[in-house]
């Protein structure tokens, strides 16, 4: 398949990854479902307001799901959907490309 940067699917993916914290959230959730406080602990520097906004956006995009467990206390956790889990392959490709950029593997 030829790459088409004007493709709406390509633009949608880039828009999600361009938002600060989204890629890191998708990466952290690859391991297992996490509660809000576990996410803040795993992502030093993210504020509660930003984390909440990013989680809602990723949920609206169908990449994560919020599950509420009856209490007491009532607990909510966030997990990747099937679509969210597919980010793993993209993240691996981005990491490989990043190594080429950082390690000087590119051409002049």
108 pLDDT higher than 60 = no
1 neighbors 61 (Cβ within 8 angstroms): no
Confidence (pTM): 0.84
Instruction: Quick: pLDDT tens for 65-105.
Output: 999 988 788 899 999 999 999 999 999 999 999 999 998 75
Per-residue pLDDT at 71:
77
What's the fold here for domain 21-103? Answer: Arc Repressor Mutant, subunit A (1.10.10)
Query: Could you tell me which of 57, 45, 69, 44 has the C-alpha nearest to residue 16?
Result: 57
6 neighbors 53 (Cβ within 8 angstroms): no
Q: Domain-by-domain residue ranges, the chain?
A: 21-103
Instruction: Quick: pLDDT tens for 9-49.
Output: 889 999 999 999 999 999 999 999 999 999 999 999 999 99
Q: Look-up: residue for tokens 């952290």?
A: 28
Per-residue pLDDT at 107:
60
């Amino acid at each position: 398949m030829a790459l088409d940067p004007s493709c709406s699917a390509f633009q949608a993916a880039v828009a999600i990854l361009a938002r600060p914290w989204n890629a890191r959230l998708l990466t952290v959730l690859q391991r297992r479902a996490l509660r809000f406080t576990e996410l803040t602990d795993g992502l030093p520097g993210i504020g509660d307001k930003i984390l909440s906004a990013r989680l809602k956006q990723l949920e609206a995009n169908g990449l994560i799901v919020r599950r509420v467990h009856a209490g007491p206390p009532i607990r909510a956790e966030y997990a990747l959907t099937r679509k969210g889990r597919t980010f793993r392959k993209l993240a691996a490709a981005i990491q490989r490309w990043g190594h080429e950029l950082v390690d000087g593997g590119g051409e002049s």
